[in-house]
Structure 1
């Protein structure tokens, strides 16, 4: 159970490594969301992401650019943050350690969940049309593909070498 704090800690430690754009900053958060589910499994991954959100909601500076509080959740990136537990859960449910394709499927599905919740939220908060927001979000796609590849490589290695015991 102590492994639950690993991924929120990594997210907090890298909260300052951001590229700020209108709406949502580019961060390493989604990499750790994917890894939390793929490495810890659905239940513990979900719990770790809920813990991360709760830390931010009580005001600790855990979100991108070391921000915290309800204002971040009710801002343009709030939908993405709120999607993290669900995305981690999906990544954990779809990852089967004996199937190399499950890593690809789980990370793609989890990333889709993040976009599915985050994009409409951002559109609503910013007063943009959904199609306009989707077009804007294409800037994030190459980085997210890179994070998916990293998540697959890292999780496979961590699991194969029993680095994290669940």
Structure 2
């Protein structure tokens, strides 16, 4: 019997799911880019501007789950490193690796994955009104991934910048991150209320 006759055809439901996944990943990658290219705030002599990037990253994880959130942030980085000006201050390209913000950028896919992984473990029926729980998941990802990698990046890329100085600089971002993660909890809870099947089933 020819091999084609025994091959299992791809079902319409599976094709629809794949198309939806790709669309959601692309949408959230674009959302992160929009959050990045909006005018950043340079406080004092900070080497890294304050932007809405982390809001988009955590929202991707909280809405899409670990795998798709990771891929959305990874797609965003791939587009930026390829040269499109989607990073903060409308920059892009491989020269970004020489900037103090590189640690934060490289943390994005991992942070989205961790946030998504934690949100996936929450009771499914509580997601629609679980803004505080989603906020907690985003904060854990920020504390464990985004800030440590950001500190390491500043120490690495700024000459004579001690770990203490990097840590002190990073503290400037904490109040904004708390506010952004509160917004992530609110927006993600509303998204799950409107689309109960947005997260992949465990």
Structure 2 match to 1:25: 49
Distance 2:47 2:196 in 1: 36
Do the aligned residues in 2 keep the contact of 1:58 with 1:68 (CA within 8 Å)?
yes
Quick check: 1:13 aligned with 2:48? no
Instruction: Give the number of aligned pairs.
Output: 166
Shift of 1:164: 8.1
The answer to whether structure 1 residue 108 and structure 2 residue 139 are counterparts is yes
In the alignment, does 2:35 pair up with 1:3? Answer: no
CA deviation after TM superposition for structure 1 residue 160, in Å: 0.9
CA deviations over 1:20-40 (Å, ceiling 9, x no partner):
353211000000111000000
- Find the residue that maps to 1:93 and give its secondary structure: helix
Measure how far apart 1:129 and its partner are. Answer: 0.8
Match of 1:55 among 63, 79, 82: 79
How far apart, CA to CA, are the structure 2 residues paired with 1:74 and 1:43? 28
**Aligned-pair distance for 1:163?**
8.1
Rate the CA distance shift 1:13–1:104 in 2: closer, same or farther, 3 A: closer
Structure 1 pair 163–78 and aligned structure 2 pair: CA distance change class (3 A): farther
- Greater Rg, structure 1 or structure 2? 2
The secondary structure found in structure 1 opposite 2:38 is coil
Shift of residue 74, structure 1, vs aligned partner: 2.7
Aligned to 2:189: 156
Mapping of residues 33-44 of structure 1, within 5 Å: 33-44=57-68
Distance in structure 1 (CA, Å) of the matches to 2:150 and 2:113: 16
Deviations 1:41-91 (A, max 9, x none): 000000001100000111000101110001113310011000000000000
Q: Distance in 1 between the 2:32 and 2:41 partners? A: 15
CA contact (8 A) 1:73 1:82 kept: no
Aligned partners of 1:125, 1:150: CA distance in 2, in Å? 31
